[in-house]
């Protein structure tokens, strides 16, 4: 595989390596939002949300559009929504496996 593609993937996944950034992307996968809306939904203060949005912007994961004095954020690529859904499915699969293992252990005792 081309090293530039591997580098892109590494940088892409680094951008996803923070729970708040993932949550921001999940929220934006539902609807475009401004900073105030994101702060309210996330229950976090503005500086933390703004800092994570800056990372997402620098990695080209979100777009911004200025509407008057408000900046509205959106997903740059709709496939991010699919990636998050696949990650959720992987999590669910691991959870099911863990539950099954615990049930097996419980039944052996």
Structural domain boundaries in the chain: 3-108
Extract the residue ranges of the chain whose pLDDT is less than 70. 1, 109
CA gyration radius, the chain? 18
Closest Cα to residue 72, out of 15, 28, 21? 28
Provide CATH code, domain 3-108.
Answer: 1.10.10.10
Residues in the chain: 109
pLDDT score of 71: 95
How far is the C-alpha of 45 from the C-alpha of 29, rounded, in Å?
Answer: 21
pLDDT score of 104: 75
pTM above 0.85, yes or no: no
Which helix (H) or strand (E) segment holds residue 7: the answer is helix 3-15
């Amino acid at each position: 595989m081309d090293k530039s593609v591997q580098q892109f993937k590494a940088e892409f996944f680094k951008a996803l390596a923070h729970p708040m950034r993932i949550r921001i992307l999940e929220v934006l996968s539902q609807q475009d939002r401004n900073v105030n809306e994101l702060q309210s939904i996330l229950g976090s203060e503005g500086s933390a949300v703004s800092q994570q949005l800056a990372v997402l912007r620098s990695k080209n994961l979100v777009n911004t559009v200025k509407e008057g004095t408000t900046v509205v954020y959106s997903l740059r690529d709709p496939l991010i929504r699919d990636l998050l859904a696949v990650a959720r499915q992987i999590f669910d699969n691991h959870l099911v496996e863990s539950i099954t293992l615990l049930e097996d252990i419980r039944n052996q005792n």
